[in-house]
C-alpha cells in the first residue's frame, strides 16, 4: 500500500497530545505506518555510559507518530490526499479538495 505522506512533507497533527501542531516529516516508516515529525512527539532517551563516552546522557528525541494522525499541509490548509494519473499516465498524489497535484 502506498502511503499518502512522504519525507519533507509539511504535516499537521490531527489527534493525540500534539494535536494542532505542524512540522516537517523527517522519516517515514512504511512497515509500521508511522512517520517521524521534526520537533513533535518528543520523548526522553537515556544513554548508558560506554568506553568511548564515559558519561551517560539524556536526550530528547522525536518518536514516530501513526500516519492516521497526520494530514498533509498544502499552503496553509490541510489537504485530503488521493492518487490519480497525470498527463503521462503516472500516478501522483493530488489534493482532493482543489484537484491540484501535490508533488
Q: Is residue 100 part of a domain?
A: no
Average pLDDT over residues 40-69: 94
Q: Is residue 80 part of a domain?
A: yes
Mean pLDDT (the chain, rounded): 93
Strand partners, 13: 70
Q: Is residue 70 part of a domain?
A: yes
Expressed as residue numbers, the domain containing 20 is 10-95
Q: Who's near 8: CB < 8 A, 6+ residues apart?
A: 24, 25
CATH of the domain at 73: 2.30.30.30
Q: Is residue 53 part of a domain?
A: yes
Nearest Cα to Cα of residue 65 among 17, 1, 97: 17
Q: Count of domains in the chain?
A: 1
- Among 7-16, 19-28, 31-40, 83-92, where is mean pLDDT lowest? 83-92
Amino acid at each position: 500500500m502506498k502511503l499518502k505522506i512522504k519525507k519533507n512533507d509539511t504535516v499537521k497533527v490531527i489527534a493525540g497530545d500534539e494535536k494542532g501542531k505542524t512540522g516537517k516529516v523527517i522519516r517515514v516508516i512504511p512497515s509500521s505506518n508511522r512517520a517521524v515529525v521534526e520537533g513533535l512527539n518528543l520523548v526522553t532517551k537515556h544513554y548508558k555510559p560506554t568506553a568511548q563516552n564515559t558519561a551517560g546522557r539524556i536526550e530528547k528525541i522525536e518518536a514516530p507518530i501513526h500516519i492516521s494522525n497526520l494530514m498533509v499541509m498544502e499552503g496553509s490548509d490541510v489537504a485530503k490526499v488521493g492518487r490519480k494519473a497525470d498527463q503521462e499516465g503516472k500516478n501522483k498524489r493530488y489534493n482532493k479538495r482543489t484537484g491540484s497535484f501535490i508533488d
